[in-house]
Amino acid sequence: MVDPILSIRDLHTEFVANEGIIRAVDGVSFDVFQGRTLGVVGESGCGKSVTARSILGIVEKPGRVTGGQILLRPETGGEAVDLLQLGPKAMRAIRGPEIALVFQEPMASFSQYYTIGNQIMEGIRLHLKLSARAARDRAIELLDMVGVPQPARRVDEYPFQLSGGLRQRVMIAMALACDPRVLIADEPTTALDVTTQAQILDLLRELQQKQGLALILITHDMGVIAEMAHDVAVMYLGRAVETGPVSEIFTAPKHPYTRALLRSIPTVMAKPRTRLPTIEGSIPHPSNRPAGCAYNPRCLELIDDLCRVQEPPETGMAGRRIRCFLHGGRP
């Protein structure tokens, strides 16, 4: 098997709040491969965005990574580097040329005071040491690559002059400016309309094929996952409860949460006016994490005196792992 570009091992990220310590990411592990898409899916509070920010070392205060490893394999081969051991300066050389991020809210993530060209060029000039002229040409080239019409004119426009779909394209251009090997897209289409979403997903797929990017796609939408991902990690309250190839996750889901989640998705194939199977209750706040398996209060298949008390370990084999006592790890 090919070595992964990026391996997350037992990542822990905590926030110190008034209510106590919130374990936003609580032992997440997964692998990301060149030319493949890992879909990270979960509902609010599952820690998917914090995981992305932890990888890039941009977790906001009072949060901090408290444990685990983020192993990046160098392009030239050789020993993997643990990003958590790098200093701020070395990390800056990682963000952009190695790993880049596409944010969810394109409106909130741009500065309103600079043209989009300026904002793309900032990264290029910092990392690639190009002249202003060359950087500008590169920016226009990037805009053209992500399908922004009339890039030579658009490069001098401000973010507010662009539609949501175009803004997201510019955001992707900016992320790709320094030729990263890993692209993390955090809910890249959530703020967009469906027809625009289809355009952006299509673009991401095309770019990945062309450039062999390793893509981490974070979303709450199982439909987007089905369409885009090769591998899937399903998260619940800070943990990956099930990981595996997309076909297996959708056709043979094992974890009760994954199964319930898949059943509760509305689809266009449904008979009109039909009730959906639901998951009882609601997602607990991460500060209020249930003892034992975090999903146990909502689980219909729980093993009474086990799941409420003990946390299930991650079991399974490489590429297909699960955290549930129904599928192994029973003491």
User: Is 299 among the residues that bind another protein (CB under 8 A)?
Assistant: no
Contact between 117 and 193 under an 8 Å Cβ cutoff? The reply is no
Per CB under 8 A, which region of 6-14, 117-125, 191-199, 315-323 contacts another protein?
Answer: 191-199
CB of 103 to another protein, least distance (A): 19
Our CB check for another protein shows the closer of 51 and 197 to be: 197
- From the list 1, 269, 300, 317, which residue makes contact with another protein (rule: CB under 8 A)? 269
Our CB check for another protein shows the closer of 194 and 317 to be: 194
Our CB check for another protein shows the closer of 209 and 278 to be: 278
- Take residue 115 and report the two structure tokens written for it: 């043209």
Contact between 255 and 241 under an 8 Å Cβ cutoff? The reply is yes
- From the list 271, 300, 304, 305, which residue makes contact with another protein (rule: CB under 8 A)? 271
DSSP 34: T
- From the list 194, 300, 317, 318, which residue makes contact with another protein (rule: CB under 8 A)? 194
Spell out a b/e string for 272-287, using b for 16 or more CB atoms within 10 Å of the CB, else e.
Answer: eeeeeeebeeebeebe
User: Is 93 among the residues that bind another protein (CB under 8 A)?
Assistant: no
By CB atoms closer than 10 A (0-12, 13-18, 19+), residue 196 is middle
User: Is 210 among the residues that bind another protein (CB under 8 A)?
Assistant: no
CB of 324 to another protein, least distance (A): 17
Any long-range contacts for 260-266 (C-beta under 8 Å, 24+ apart)? 260/298, 260/300, 261/43, 261/222, 261/234, 262/222, 265/222, 265/223
User: Is 276 among the residues that bind another protein (CB under 8 A)?
Assistant: yes
CA distance 135 to 120: 9
Binding-site string for another protein from residue 222 to residue 261, where x marks contact by CB under 8 A and - marks none: xxxxxx------------------xx--xx--------xx
Contact between 153 and 140 under an 8 Å Cβ cutoff? The reply is no
**Given phi > 0 = left and psi -120 to 50 = alpha, else beta, which region is 228?**
alpha
User: Is 209 among the residues that bind another protein (CB under 8 A)?
Assistant: no
User: Is 18 among the residues that bind another protein (CB under 8 A)?
Assistant: no
CB of 7 to another protein, least distance (A): 24
Residue 321 phi, psi (nearest 5): -125, 155
Residue 300 phi, psi (nearest 5): -90, -10
CB of 285 to another protein, least distance (A): 8
User: Is 198 among the residues that bind another protein (CB under 8 A)?
Assistant: yes
User: Is 273 among the residues that bind another protein (CB under 8 A)?
Assistant: yes
User: Is 163 among the residues that bind another protein (CB under 8 A)?
Assistant: yes
User: Is 277 among the residues that bind another protein (CB under 8 A)?
Assistant: yes
User: Is 108 among the residues that bind another protein (CB under 8 A)?
Assistant: no
Token pair 């309250």 is at which residue? Answer: 237
288 by DSSP, 3-state: which?
helix
- Take residue 207 and report the two structure tokens written for it: 């770019």
- From the list 262, 306, 328, 329, which residue makes contact with another protein (rule: CB under 8 A)? 262
User: Is 324 among the residues that bind another protein (CB under 8 A)?
Assistant: no
Report the amino acid identity of residue 323.
R
Binders of another protein in range 25-64 (CB under 8 A): 43-44
Catalog residues that contact another protein under the rule CB under 8 A. 43-44, 163-166, 193-199, 202, 220-227, 246-247, 250-251, 260-262, 264-279, 282-283
